[in-house]
Chains A and B, each alone.
Chain A
Amino acid sequence: MPPKLSSEKRMRKFLIEHLKTRRIFGARIAEGEKTVKELARLNMAPQVFLFKNLFSGQVLYSQVPAYHQQQIDEQFLRPNWQNRKPSRRNDYWRIMCVATFDNYEYAVAAYKGLVDLRKTRDVVQKDVAQSLRRKNDDGNIWFQGQYRPTYTQEAVADLAHVIDEFELENTKLTWENEWRRGEDKFWRNDLIEHDTLPPFNAKLQTAMLDELRIKALEEFGKLREQEESKNTEQIQQSEQPVIA
């Protein structure tokens, strides 16, 4: 085999660099934390999506109906043998719950709150979190195969915690399975309304989530219109001259 020309070598190096840039790390829409303005600009509804991992039971939070490697890196800060950094493989993640909030401020706050609570459990108050988990006979987190149900249950508890703490009224939680939300005593009825997701097949998960987003967006638009019409009426009334 004849030796490679330097131009060939350069070309090869360039090609490898190029391939690296082409690697896909997930849905680009899910990349980066979204502010209130960005959510509105992207035509997203005020929602938070909770995806559960079928393999390990871990839960991924997202502001949009998709996920990105960056979110996984951000939300699983201290991986260890009991809490591994989950794979991005899209056959592992299934929607567990869609939380629809009253407005974008609440949606952003809830997402940040959930990520904060995750950080608290994994980093800041590691021992406290560990003490709350169910253990097996060896003193490790209870598992079957690679599945640790405690992570899913913690995410549900954190969701209830965030809604209570920030008092996010008019929240609608749409569950994949009603079973997961636990007993009613954990939820404040004045703030939350529970619902169930329509039955869906794994292949159509994204389509179903997108439909939910569009519906929520429409409802949100109607509410905004009502509020605006109320405001204009009030302004008109206040502008009317008072007849003595």
Chain B
Amino acid sequence: MSIRTSSRLFSSTISRSKPVSIVNGKSKPLKFTDLKTIKLREPIIPTKKNFDVSSEHPLWQFFANGSNTTESTRSFNDMSHGREWSLAELRRKSFEDLHKLWYIVLKERNVLAREAVAVNGPYERSRNAQFDAVDQKLLNTHKRIKEVLLERQVAYERVQTLGDKQQEYLNDFAERYINSSNDDISLFNEKLVRLQYAFFGIQPSLDDYDLKEDINVKFVEGINYIANLKISRYFKQNPEAKESFGELNGVKEELPFLLYDIDTAIQQVKDLRASNESIKLDKIDVLPYLKSTISTFIENEQQ
């Protein structure tokens, strides 16, 4: 036996013997003896059981069912998909409703976009025709909301450029308003709200009032127009009241017609006259009076 063979034999006997280390006074095998006999373990799958996620975590909004989500994507049947909103429907909605609707649709589009990535993979464009169809409906709704808002802006701007025709239009509207029947009055009132915003900048909702900016000369003109319009219609229906009531005397008597309905407003004017508080204000006092009265009214409403 050569020296080389003997040394190889020696080293092989060493590697076969179980390596044992003495640590902390205990003897332990701290090495794998034979790699061929190791029983490999299955990969350990991560689990979400190890931690809690708040059900109010904002990222849940990317899932249709929020924190109750069990699957990463919905099946097409689970998706509640109807038709898109039509222009005619959207035109009837207020700004607040459109604002809410915009964000509801946006959220839904985000959920869909996340699901499309889960289905198609990160580097692929959407290949799922059904997802695309739903997304297209939502996109159309978005486009129409923009279109409605644009229409309103255009209408507002057009009114500003009407010039001499403004008065003509206002007179025409007043005539139609005064002669309207009881069935049509609610429609006309809605129209009046839009008109007062377009012509005089009077916001439809009390919450939107910016007391510093919005209450100006135009606003005073608007109150005058609205009050006369409403009282004229009232006199047309109750001719006997006209002589005893007389004409409205300045801003103090006109303001109730903007804030209250016609019967309450008339009662308030009567109370004012009874208590001798109905004075025609000097021009310099008009705007401060309106600001203080409207702000107290808004506070009372909120309470």
Contacts and interface: CB of A to CB of B under 8 A. Distances in A.
Interface of A: 102-103, 105-106, 109, 112-113, 116-117, 119-121, 124-125, 128-129, 132-134, 144-145, 150, 153-154, 156-158, 160-161, 165-167, 177-183, 186
A125 B24 contact: no
Q: Which of B43, B121, B123 has the most CB of A within 10 A?
A: B43
Interface stretch (B48-56, B88-96, B211-219): B48-56
Given A144-B122, A145-B122, A181 B50 contact: yes
B272 interface: no
Contact of A179 (B38, B41, B46): B46
Nearest to B19: A109
Contact of B31 (A102, A106, A109): A109
23 contacts: A102-B24, A105-B30, A112-B31, A113-B31, A116-B31, A120-B35, A121-B40, A125-B36, A125-B38, A129-B40, A133-B43, A144-B121, A144-B122, A145-B121, A154-B43, A165-B32, A167-B28, A177-B46, A178-B51, A181-B46, A181-B50, A182-B45, A183-B44
Q: How extensive is the interface on chain B, given as a class?
A: 20 to 34
Nearest to A182: B44
A15 to B, nearest CB: 43
Contacts of A166: 28-30
B30 A161 contact: no
A106 B23 contact: yes
B45 A125 contact: no
B35 A161 contact: no
Contact of A182 (B29, B47, B51): B47
B21 interface: yes
A134 B46 CA distance: 14
B22 to A, nearest CB: 9
A183 B42 contact: no
B24 A153 contact: no
A95 B59 CA distance: 25
A182 B46 CA distance: 4
Contact of B44 (A120, A145, A153): A153
Contacts of A181: 44, 46, 50
Contacts of A112: 31
B30 A106 contact: yes
Nearest to B36: A124
A112 B38 CA distance: 14
A116 B32 contact: yes
A105 B23 contact: yes
Contacts of B47: 179, 182-183
A124 B42 contact: no
A161 B41 CA distance: 7
B50 A132 contact: no
A105 B21 contact: yes
Given A103-B23, A181-B50, A119 B42 contact: no
Contacts of A160: 41, 44
Contacts of A124: 35-36, 38
A220 to B, nearest CB: 14
Given A145-B121, A157-B41, 16 more contacts: A102-B24, A105-B21, A105-B23, A106-B23, A109-B21, A116-B35, A117-B32, A117-B40, A124-B35, A125-B40, A129-B40, A132-B40, A133-B43, A156-B43, A179-B50, A183-B49
A179 B48 contact: yes
A165 B23 CA distance: 15
Contacts of B49: 183
B44 A157 contact: yes
A147 to B, nearest CB: 10
A182 B45 CA distance: 6
B40 A128 contact: yes
A224 B122 CA distance: 52
A205 B35 CA distance: 34
B35 A119 contact: yes
Contacts of B29: 166
Contacts of A186: 44
Given A117-B40, A120-B40, A125 B35 contact: yes
B181 to A, nearest CB: 68
Interface string B136-153: 000000000000000000
A36 B36 CA distance: 27
B24 A103 contact: yes
